Amino acid sequence: MTALYSFGLGIGTQNSEGKWLEVYYPQPLLNPSEAVANALKAALDYTGGTQAITLDDAALTKLASAFAEVGETGLAATAEQLKNSTRPTVATILASDDAPISAPEGYLKLHLLSHRLVKPNNTNLTGLFGILLNVAWTSEGAIDITELADRQLQARLENRSLSVDSVDKFPKMVDYVVPTGVRIADTARVRLGAYIGEGTTIMHEGFVNFNAGTEGTSMVEGRISQGVFVKSGSDLGGGSSTMGTLSGGGNIIITIGNQCLLGANSGLGIPLGDRCTVEAGLYITSGTKVNLLDDKNQIVSQTKARELASKDDLLFRRNSTTGAVECLTNKSAVELNEALHASN
């Protein structure tokens, strides 16, 4: 068998038409071993390609035996646990990192992110929105929106309480994955597919989208949008915002370097290097005109913020008298921009 990209045994929810609403993978694998591929071939007659195979008890029995024979005891135990389930089960095989074309494939990739097996922007999620259904996330699990009214009525007729927590394509992460070493004050504000690094604290106003997150120890009181990745030791102040690739950022991937600070209610539309600060209330976009200052607070030149992207040791602030956006830079940054503008 050729090498596989990912594999997961999952249990999920389908609507009345048999369409997948969600899938939970307790033990997703990235780059599974050849032994796993051989077990899939033996138990499911798998011959290659990306597939989401709905399983019955007979298939799960074969899988459990095949995994045990090749020493994959964890997968064997999972297959045994899934037998006799009242919910549908699935074996999802990703032969390569192609764009997902089914909900089981998409959910497997979201699990890879939240299990910290891949980092944001390192797996292909093209078209993910289109393959996921809009779902009511309730106290009784995922319910298709078109079936919600009937379920609400049935609950009341049976004197039960059916609470709807959200209506969205993505569930909250902690219902599927709880990474080690993190604090999350409001779990509803972190979507499945978020990558939350060890040591991260997400306060009540913090938000982390799918395919976004933190590398290590960070304090998050602002919004980490889709595609944004924050490196270790950085602090996103209350109400701060980062521009993701879904919200006007285009194809610009926003990264925030080590030991950076976004002040309260600030915003960022360019990547930051290490040890950078954006003043509270200041929103920096790629086209923002910035006055570069020397160590005597004298204007050296003017540039657009995009020219300062990913550079270290920058302080962005707004002049309280003129309102102009200013940047204090180290000497090498000033020299680089002087050379850039001299060629204009």
Strand 235-236, strand 219-220: pairing: parallel
Burial string for 229-264 (b: 16+ CB within 10 Å, else e) reads bbbbbbbbbbbbbbbbbebebeebebbbbbbbbbbe
Q: Which residues contact 288 (CB under 8 A, 6 or more apart)?
A: 269, 304, 305, 325
In single-letter form, the type of residue at position 157 comes to L
Distances (CA, A) of 132 to 120, 142, 147, 263: 19, 12, 16, 35
Identified catalytic residue from 22, 72, 105, 221: 221
CA-based nearest residue to 113, from 12, 214, 188, 14: 214
Question: What string of DSSP letters covers 6-30?
Answer: EEEEEEEEE-TTS-EEEEE-SS-EE
Q: Which residues contact 153 (CB under 8 A, 6 or more apart)?
A: none
Distances (CA, A) of 39 to 7, 19, 92, 261, 303: 12, 27, 14, 49, 59
The β-bridge partners of 28 are none
Catalytic residue list contains 221:
yes
Tokens of 12: 């999920």
In single-letter form, the type of residue at position 58 comes to A
Catalytic residue numbers, as ranges: 221
